[in-house]
Amino acid sequence: MTTALLLAVLQALVVALGAPLVVGTLRTLKARLVGRRGPVPWQPFLDLRKLLGKTPVVSDTTSWIFRATPYILAGAMLVAALAAPVLTSRPPLAFAGIILLMSLFLLGTFFLALAGLDAGSAFGGMGSSREVAVAALAEPTVMVAVFALALRANTTNLGAIVERVSAEPLLAVNAGHLLAFVAFFIVMLAETGRLPVDNPATHLELTMIHEAMVLEYSGRHLAMIEWASAMKLLVFLTLLANLFFPWGVPADVTAVALLLGLLALVGKLVVLVVALAALETAIAKLRLFRVPELLAGSFALGVLSVSAVVLLR
Amino acid sequence: MLRQLRLAIRTGIVTEPPPTEAEIERLGAQVAGEIRVRFGRSLAIRQVDAGSCNGCELEIGGLTGPHYDLERFGVHFVASPRHADCLLVTGPVTRNMAEALRRTWLATPDPKLVIAAGDCAGDGGIFRGSYAVVGGVREIVPVDALISGCPPSPAALLAGLLDALGRPR
Amino acid sequence: MASVVYALTALLSAAVTTAGITGLLGVRWLTRIEWLVPLGGFELEMDPLAGLFVALVGAVAVATSIYAVGYAGRDRRGCVAHAAFIGAMALVPLAANVMTFVLAWELMSLASYVLVLDGARAGREASASTHAAWVYAVMTHAGLACMLAGMLLLTAWTGSPRFADWGAAAPALGAGARSLVWALLALGFAAKAGAVPLHVWLPLAHPAAPSHVSALMSAVMIKLGVYGLLRASFVWLAPAQVGWGVALLLVGALSAVAGVLYAVVDRDLKRLLAFSSIENVGIVFVGTGAAVAFAATGLPSLALLALVAALYHAVNHAAFKSLLFMAAGGVLHGTGTRDMELLGGLIKRQPWTATCFLVGAIAIAGLPPLNGFVSEWLIFQALLQNDLLSWPTMNLVFALAIAGLALAAGLAVACFVKAFGITFLALPRSEAAATAHDAAPTMRAAMLVTAAGCAALALGASWVVPALGAVGATLIAAPPPVTLGPWLTLEVSGDFATLSVPAVALALTGGVLLPIVLLAAARARPRPRRFETWSCGRLLQTARMEYTATAFADPFTRVFDFFYRPVRRLDVDLHPESRFFVRSIRYENPTRFIVDEWLYQPLGRVLRAATRHIGVIQSGSPNLYLAYVLAALLLLLLVA
C-alpha cells in the first residue's frame, strides 16, 4: 500500500518535472539543427517560474469555464501521467487501458476548446474549431492501433500489454507492430500539436491550431496550460517508447529496478526526441486542409497493421 | 528531407558572441531588482508596430536568426500581449495607432517593461512635428528604455535589450 | 390546471418505475383480460428485460413530468396526450401477444403524433411543423406495416399470437423463414429507433415537439425499437443468425457516423440533439449486432458482454439525452429561439441551465468520469475481442465497426463543444439572448435530478453492470463476462480490460485540486485583472466578431464534403447604374441530405407516378363505376 503510494508520487514527480525538460531539450535540438545556439534545455522551467509571478489578465466576456480550464487540463494530464507505464510496467492506476488514456486527453481538449470559445474572439473560435476537428479525425487511427496491440497481447490493459510484449522481445520488431508504431507516431504529432500538423512556435494566428486557443491566457493560467501540454507530449512519447518497445521496463518495484527502468526510458526518450527534432526541422507545416489526408494515411497504416497481425499469426 | 538535415549538420552553429557596446537611454523608473533578475533569464517580447516604416522591424527580425540568436538568452517573441512581459515598440506612434498601442499595453499582464526601439519611438524621429504623428512612445505609455538608431542594428538592439535586463554579458 | 395533470403523471410514473425495478430484479407476473381486445385478449407479462425498459420509461417520465410542470404547466393542450404517451410506452415492453403489442404501439405513435402537432401549432413555422408531423406519421405507419406483416406471418406459421409460444416454436421453422420474419420486424423496429436510412422523421419530429416530449421521444421511445429488436433476435426467433448481427453492426456503424456528421453542421439546437440521438442509436445497434453475431457463432460470453454494453448505453443515453433536451427546452423557454446563431453568453444569464447542459454534454461526449464513457468503453471492449471469432470476413466487419464508432466518438466531442460553446459562452448574439431568464424551479429540479442520475450511473457501474448482466442472462445463457475486482473495479473477460470509475473520478478530483493547493502554498495567486478580450487593439469589439456555429463546423464541411454535397449559391446584386458598385451579395452553402435525395425523393417520385397511372381508374363517371361493380360481381361469381 505504501509502496504503491510512493510509486504514484514518484511517477507524478518524474512526469511533472521531466515534461518541461523534454520540451526544452526539443527546442534546443531544433535550434542547433538550424545553426543557432538556442535556449538552454531547462528554459521552460525558467519560463514557468516567471509566469507564476505575473498577474493574470482575464477578459470580462469569459465565464468560470475560462478560469477552471487550466486546472481541469492539468488535472487530466496528471491522471494520465499516473495511468501510463512510465517507471514500471504496472502504473499506479493499474486498471488503466489505452482507451481511458485517450479519453483523458479528449477531456482536456474538450475544456480547452470551450475556453477558446469563451473569450469571444475569432482567434479562439478558430483554434477550437481546428483543434476538435484534428482530434476527431485522429480518433479512428487510435482505436485501430489499440486493436492491433490488443490482438497481439490479448488485453487492452496498458500494464499487461507491456508485460506480454516484453515477455517476447522479438514481437516488437514484427511488421504489424512497427506499422502500428508509425500510425501512433502520426497521431502523436496531431494530438500534441507538432509539425507538420501544427507549428508550436508560430506567431501567425491564421496558422495556429493549439496556440490560438490559449491566446487569452496569462500568468499562472498560462503556466498550467503550458505545463499540461508538456506533460501530454511526455506521456505520448512514453507510450511510444514503453508500449511499443518495452525493453527495460521493470515489473517489480525495487529501487534498483526503478533506477534501471528510468535509465532505459531516458535512453528511449533521447532517441525519440532526436528523431522528432530532426523531423520537425526537415518538414514544413502542412496546409490545414491537407491534415485530414495525413490522418487518413495514418488510418490506412493502422488498418494495414491490424491485417498484418491477423494474417501473420 | 535528408538533404536538409545533412546541410544543417554540415553548416554547424554560426551564432556570434553578443556585442559589448550599448547605445541605450534609461527613461522612467528603474524596474525593481528582483523582477529584473527574473526577466533576465526568461523574457517574452511582443513587438508593436506603431506606424513605423518597417526599417526597425527588419532589424528586429534579424535578432531571431542564427547570427544574433535572441533565444539563447531566454528571450523569445510571442504573438499575444497576454503572453508578453515586454513590449518592444517601434514607430513614431501615428494618431491612428495611439489607441491600439494603449490597449495593447493594458492587455499585457503586470509586471511589464516597455522598450522603445528606433529614433521615431523616442520623439518622432524624422516624422517629428507631423500632423499625423503623436511624437514618441512615451506620450502614450510609460517607457523603461530607449534604443536609438535609424534603424538600430541588430547588434545595437541586442546590446540594448541585454542592458535593459541588467544581464551580465 | 395542466400542472396538476403533470404532477399526477409524475406520481404514476414513479409507481411504474418501481414496478419496473421489481421486474428487473426478478419478480415475474402475468395478467390476461380475455374480453378487452379481440384476437387473443389483452395480455401482459413481466420479465427482467421488460422490467428494465418499463423502469426506464418510468424514470425518464418522472423527470419530464416534473419538468413539464414548469415548462408547460400553464398550457392545457397536450397534458393528457403526454400521460397517454407514457402509459402506452410502459405497456409496450409488457405486451405478451400481438394485439396487445400493436395496440400499445399504435397508442404510443398516436399520442406522440398529437404532441408533435401540438408543439408545432404552438411554434412559429406552422407549415414546416405540419410537414414534420406528416413525415413522422408516414414513417411510423410504414414501420408498423412491416412489423405487423412479420408478426402475422409468425402467428400464421407457429399457430399462436402469444409471444411465449413463438420462442418454443421458432427453431422448427426454416432459417430462411426466420430471416424473412426477422427482416420485416427489424425494418419496423429500426424505423422506430431511427436508424439510417429510416431516420428521416427524427430530425423533423423531435425539434417540433415541446421539449419534455422531445426528451421522452429521444430518451425512451426510440429505445423501444431496440427492445423489439432484442426480443425478435433472442426470444421470438432464436437461435440468432450471423447475417442478422452483421446487418445490425453495419447499420449501426453507418447511423453512428451519419448521425453525428449531420449533428456537427446543424445550427438548430434541438435538431442537433435529434441527430445525436441517431448517432447513439447507432452505437446501441452496434452493441446489439455484436451480441447477435457472437451468439450466432458460438461465443455466448462475448455475446452477453456486448448485450450488457448495449443495454447500458441505452440506459445512459436515456439519462443524458433527456437532460440535454430539458436544458435545450430551458434555453428555448428563456430566449424564444433554438437557432444557435442567435444565442450566446447564456452561461451568465442561465447558470443552472448551462451547468446542466454541460454535464449532459460531457456525458454524451463519452468523457470520463461520466456514464457515456463507461458504456462506450464496454462496447469497445466487446468489439475488440472479436479476434476470438477467427473468421476474417467477420474480423473485417468488426474492424469497420470499431473505426466507425471511434470516428463517431471523436465527432461527438466536436459536436458538443460547438453546442455548448456557441450557445452558452462568450457574448450574446441577439437581443433575445441578452435578456434571457433562467429556468423555473421545477425545471431546474428535474434537470438536477437527471444530472445526478448520470453521475450515479457512472459511479455505480459496479452495481449497474451486474444487474444488466442478470437481465441479459435471461436472453443469452452464459457465465457473467464482467466480474468485480478490488476498489470497485470492473474486470471484463478475465483480464482483457479493467476499469474502476470511482478511482478515475477520485483521481481527477485530486488532480484538479493539486495545482490549486500547490499554487496557494507557493503564494502564487495574485488576483486577476479584468480587461477586454485581445482583439489586436481594435476599437470596436461586438458579438459580430465571435465565431459562429457555421464557421465552427467549417472544417468538417470541407473534409466530409463528399457526404454533405453542399450546393454553393452566390447571387451578387449590382447597382443598376454601375457594375462596380455592389448592392447586396447573397451566399448560400447549405448541406444536403443524401438519404433524402437518393432514397426518399426517387421513391416519392415513383409512388406519385404510380398513383397517377392508377388514378386513371377514378374517372368520375358513374357509368364506369357501375361497370366496375358488374365486372367485380362476375369475377366473384366465377371464382366462388
DSSP C20-67: HHHHHTT--EEEEETTTSTTT-EEEEE-HHHHHHHHHHHHHHHHHHHH
**Identity of the residue in C497, C533, C555 whose CB atom sits nearest the CB atom of A119:** C533
Q: B-chain residues within 8 Å CB-CB of C537?
A: 97, 99-101, 103-104
**CA gap B92, B52 in Å, rounded:** 6
For chain A, list the contacting chains (3+ Cβ pairs, <8 Å).
B, C
Which of C531, C535, C538 should one mutate to test binding to chain B, selecting the residue with the greatest count of B CBs within 10 A?
C531
Tell me what the mean pLDDT of segment C604-621 comes to: 87
Please check the confidence at residue C249 and state whether its pLDDT lies above 90: yes
Indicate the number of domains in chain A: 1
Q: What is the pLDDT of residues C548-606, one digit of tens each?
A: 999 999 999 889 988 888 888 888 888 888 888 888 888 877 778 888 888 888 888 99
Sort out which chain B residues have CB atoms less than 8 A from A284's CB and list them: none
Q: Are strands B145-147 and B24-26 parallel, antiparallel or unpaired?
A: antiparallel
Handedness of CA A91, A93, A97, A98 (dihedral sign): negative
Per the CB < 8 A criterion, the answer to whether C268 and C340 are in contact is yes
A13 lies within 8 A of chain C by CB: no
- CA torsion sign for C555, C558, C559, C560 is positive
pLDDT in tens, C571-580: 888 888 888 8
3-state SS class at C635: helix
Q: Which CATH class is domain B2-166?
A: alpha beta
> Is A4 an interface residue toward C (CB < 8 Å)?
no
C441 touches chain A (CB under 8 A): no
Domain boundaries defined on chain B: 2-166
What is the pLDDT, as a whole number, of residue C105? 94
Substitution target in A17, A51, A139, A225 with the highest count of C β-carbons within 10 Å is: A139
The one-character DSSP state at B32 is P
Distances (CA, A) of C457 to A284, C369, C412, C470: 47, 10, 20, 17
Runs of H (alpha helix) within C159-268 = 163-169, 175-193, 202-208, 211-216, 222-230, 242-264
CA dist., res. A213 & res. B76, Å (int) = 20
CA distance C444 to chain B (A): 38
Instruction: Grade residue B29 by pLDDT with cuts at 50, 70 and 90.
Output: very low
Interface residue B16 vs chain A (CB under 8 A): no
In whole angstroms, give the CA distance from residue C305 to residue C379: 8
Per residue in C123-165, pLDDT tens?
556 667 788 888 899 999 999 999 999 999 998 888 888 888 8
Q: What is the mean pLDDT of chain C?
A: 89
CA-based nearest distance A267→chain C, Å = 28
Exposure string (b/e) for A173-206, b if CB count within 10 Å is 16 or more? ebebbebbbbbbbbbbbbbbbbbbbbbbebeebe
Taking the C-alpha atoms of residue A183 and residue C295, their distance in angstroms, rounded to an integer, is 33
8 Å CB contact of C555 and A129: yes
Residues of A in contact with B85 (CB under 8 A): 50, 54
Mean pLDDT on C381-395: 82
For residues C354-361, give the mean pLDDT.
Answer: 96
Q: What is the mean pLDDT of residues B80-86?
A: 93
Global model pTM greater than 0.90: yes
CB pairs under 8 A between B and C: 20
CA distance B37 to C217: 65
Residue C376: closest C-alpha in chain A: A99
Q: How confident is the model at residue C121 (pLDDT cuts 50, 70, 90)?
A: low
Q: How far apart are CA A43 and CA A46, in angstroms?
A: 5
Per-residue cell: A190: 496531431
Asked if C537's CB is within 8 angstroms of B104's CB, the reply is yes
Q: Which residues of A touch C529 (CB under 8 A)?
A: 55-58
Q: Chain C neighbours among A 102-131 (CB < 8 Å)?
A: 103-104, 106-107, 109-110, 113-114, 117-126, 128-130
Task: Give yes or no for C403 touching A (CB within 8 A).
Answer: yes
Looking up cell 407479462 gives C45
Q: Can you state the angle between helices C351-364 and C371-384, rounded to 10 degrees?
A: 10
Instruction: Output DSSP code: residue C171.
Output: G
Nearest CA in chain A to C509: A75
Three-state DSSP class for residue A36: coil
Within 10 Å of residue B76's Cβ, how many Cβ atoms? 18
Spatial separation of the C-alpha atoms in residues C472 and C492, rounded to whole Å: 15
In 3D, which of C210, A172, A98 has the Cα closest to residue C218?
C210
What cell was used for A136? Answer: 476527431
Share of chain C above pLDDT 90, in %: 52
Q: What is the pLDDT of residues C493-547, one digit of tens each?
A: 777 888 889 889 999 999 999 999 988 888 777 889 999 888 888 887 788 888 9
- Which residue from C105, C453, C410 is spatially nearest to C279, judged by alpha carbons? C410
DSSP assignment of C403-445 equals HHHHHHHHHHHHHHHHHHHHHHSSS-SSHHHHT--PPPHHHHH
Q: Give start and end residues of each alpha helix (H) in chain B.
A: 2-11, 33-41, 55-62, 95-107, 119-123, 154-165
- Distance CA(A305)–CA(C257), nearest Å, equals 23
Residues in A closer than 8 angstroms to C511, CB to CB, are 74-79
End-to-end CA distance of chain B: 37
Cβ pair A159, A94 in contact under 8 A? yes
Question: How many H-runs (helices) and E-runs (strands) does chain B carry?
Answer: 6, 6
pLDDT tens readout for residues A50-105: 998 899 999 988 999 999 999 999 999 999 999 999 888 888 888 888 899 999 99
Length of chain A: 313
pLDDT of residue C55: 95
Contact (CB, 8 A) for C463 and C490: no
Tens of pLDDT, residues B4-28: 888 888 888 888 887 765 555 555 4
Q: Is A71 in Cβ contact with C500 (below 8 Å)? A: no
Interface test with A, best of B70, B80, B165 (most A CBs within 10 A): B80
Banded pLDDT at B34 (limits 50, 70, 90)? low
Q: Containing domain of residue A104, as a range?
A: 2-311
Cβ–Cβ of C534/B110 closer than 8 Å?
no
**Nearest CA distance, B128 vs chain A (angstrom):** 31
The number of helices, as runs of H, and strands, as runs of E, in chain A is 11, 1
Query: CB distance B99–C537 less than 8 Å?
Result: yes
Alpha carbon distance, N-terminus to C-terminus of chain A: 40
Alpha carbons B7 and A147: distance in angstroms, whole number: 40
In the predicted model, residues of chain A with pLDDT beneath 70 are 313
pLDDT band at B163 (very low <50, low <70, confident <90, very high): confident
Which chain B residues contact residue C539 at CB under 8 A?
99-100
C88 to chain B nearest CA, in Å? 59
Query: pLDDT at position B168, please?
Result: 55
Question: Which run of H or of E encompasses C581?
Answer: strand C578-588
> What is the pLDDT confidence band of residue B169, given thresholds at 50, 70 and 90?
very low
**How much is the pLDDT for C265?**
92
**How far is C21 from C56, CA to CA, in rounded Å?**
9
Candidate from C425, C522, C554 with C-beta closest to A118? C425
**Residue B28, pLDDT score:** 46
Shortest distance between the Cα of A132 and any Cα of chain B, in A, equals 22
